[in-house]
Structure 1
Amino acid sequence: MSDDLNPDFEVPVGLFQDLAGLKAAVTSLTAQVQALTEAAGEDAGEALADDGTEAVEEPEDEWQYPPFILLLDSPQYDAELRALIEWVEGVLVPGYLAEPSSDARWCPEWFEHPVAVARLHACWLAWQELTDPATCGYTGPSVWHRDHLDPCLRELRSSTGPFAGCTKGEHQIGHRMPGLVPSAWRQPEE
């Protein structure tokens, strides 16, 4: 029975060397993580350079993610809005919007509604990323429809959405803005 608990087999010597190498690598990585954690206030690149490893510098011309449109000032806002209008009027409206109704509203002056601009810009950013097979594979368009387009249109076109005050012949921009700030939001006057 004791022979069953201690089987007779040889362990290759190389296995012990591999384990020693792995242990050394784990120890080194643990030290690097600890150094980075301790230097949380410092730049990570500086902490790595202090460790004796070479810091990797990012190229200056690296592509930047586009900023959210509501965070932009003119003229960047104007340029981004023109590009968004081109996408909405050229892709979204002809391809996805049916005739507006009381259950599915749409304002032809949607670009004057900040909430609509924000939602459509977010949807457009997702479309740019998820329709490129190089970055998201072939399921990206399906994900875009399910996770971005459908919820966006549901919110925009609902009877309580940003176009709630707009009808076929009338555009109303200020209908969602409260006239008075509730008293709980006001600062007490001294």
Structure 2
Amino acid sequence: MTEQQKELTQPESPQPEKNPFILYMKGSEHEEALHRLTLWVRHLLLPVYGREVTSTAPWCTSWWRHQEAVAQLYGLWMAWQELTNPAAGLTGPSVWQRDHLSHVMAALRDPSGPFAGCKSGSHREKEPPGMDAYPS
């Protein structure tokens, strides 16, 4: 196993005082987490589980520009780290595929999901839905 593969598969030490979820990170902590996530997506997720891009299964090559994709993929990566750790037991990878991978990839690659309208090499910003002011 190369050092890069070890880095992608070894879980990070938990930090009990902080929420480890990427949407709560700021500055350099966020940038480092996003960098590590992009390595995992590029070198493990897409080559093994990426599947072909079609009109019914879109993918944005600039997926990190979609907050929903970052949140979903980071959660998937966190689960990967936990469930592929030797302490997870022999069924850990199967549990990860069954309980995490299929759902996340289906949601991201849904034709009306976060990559709707994105084409290969062409990112399209999305407008979030609006919300009326809550009456006070």
TM-score of the superposed pair, with normalisation by structure 1: 0.60
The answer to whether 1:158 aligns with 2:86 is no
More helix by share: 1
* Runs of 4+ off more than 6 Å: none
- Which position in structure 1 is the counterpart of 2:4? none
> How is 1:44-59 mapped onto 2 (pairs within 5 angstroms)?
none
Distance 1:153 1:176, change over 3 A: farther
Match in the other structure for 2:92: 140
Q: Distance in 2 between matches of 1:87 and 1:107?
A: 16
Task: Name the aligned partner's letter for residue 64 of structure 1.
Answer: Q
CA distance in 2: counterparts of 1:93 and 1:168, whole angstroms: 14
Conserved? CA contact 1:162–1:176, under 8 Å: no
* 1:87 alignment partner in structure 2: 40
Q: Deviations over 1:37-85 (max 9, x none)?
A: xxxxxxxxxxxxxxxxxxxxxxxxx842661000000110000000000
Matches within 5 A, 1:112-123: 112-123=65-76
Structure 1 unaligned blocks of 5 or more: 1-61
d(CA) in 2 for partners of 1:154, 1:176? 21
Distance in 2 of aligned mates of 1:147 and 1:176: 30
Structure 1 pair 128–169 and aligned structure 2 pair: CA distance change class (3 A): closer
Q: Which residue of 1 aligns with 2:15?
A: 64
Q: Where does the alignment leave 5 or more consecutive residues of structure 2 unmatched?
A: 1-12
How many residue pairs get aligned? The number is 122
* 1:127–1:144 contact (8 Å) kept in structure 2: yes
Q: Pick closer, same or farther for the CA change 1:161–1:176 going to 2, 3 Å.
A: farther
Which structure has more relative contact order (CA 8 Å, sep 6+)? It is 2
State the SS of the aligned residue for 1:172.
Answer: coil
What fraction of aligned residue pairs are identical, expressed as a percent?
Answer: 45
Work out which of the two has the higher radius of gyration on C-alpha atoms and give 1 or 2.
1
Distance 2:15 2:120 in 1: 40
Q: Does the CA contact (< 8 Å) of 2:60 and 2:121 recur in 1?
A: no
